Amino acid sequence: MITKLEQRTYDDALSWLRDHGFDLIEAPGTPGRVFLKKYFCSAAIQKDADDGVKIFAFPGYLIGSEISKLVNRGYQQFLKTAKTEVPATADHLKALQSFTEEMKEGLGLPSLYNESLGTVSESYQYDRVEDRDKASAARPKRPWERAGVAASVKKSRA
């Protein structure tokens, strides 16, 4: 069943968010931009040209006063800021998912199926495919590509 959502206006969204327990903090020096806080999570929204709402800073768990970014390393999810990186616990992920779902409801944005199953990371960095998104010239040399190592090794049958 597909339900069409109507995106809320900026003022309607702020009103809904206040009524549902979000702390709203005006961004200093930037009119029309607000930081949202709830469940030790935060995000920033701003007014767009059509009096609608646009997400400026995606949701993240607060570490100190900084919004962390959720990074998936394949074996563990981490909360990463400019200064630190900590392993994400189940409590962190539950809070982040609840915050994101409620924020999207308040803004009138769709909630996608894969996001409702659990917390979705902004980036996925698996240890075995590190740097593959960089251009070939910018990637570090793999051990078999370094000078002095044969390009291919033939195995003989005994």
Tally of domains within the chain: 1
| Number of alpha carbons in the 13 Å side-chain half-sphere of residue 42 | 18
Enter the pTM of the model.
0.68
Please check whether residue 79 lies inside any domain of the structure: yes
Please check whether residue 154 lies inside any domain of the structure: no
Please check whether residue 94 lies inside any domain of the structure: yes
What are the pLDDT digits (tens) for 29-51?
888 889 999 999 999 988 888 87
pLDDT band at 1 (very low <50, low <70, confident <90, very high): very low
Please check whether residue 16 lies inside any domain of the structure: yes
Give the mean model confidence (pLDDT) for residues 89-108: 88
Q: Crossing angle of helices 90-107/10-19, nearest 10°?
A: 140
pLDDT of residue 28: 84
CA distance 86 to 78: 6
Please check whether residue 56 lies inside any domain of the structure: yes
- Domain that residue 52 falls in: 10-127
CA distance 85 to 131: 19
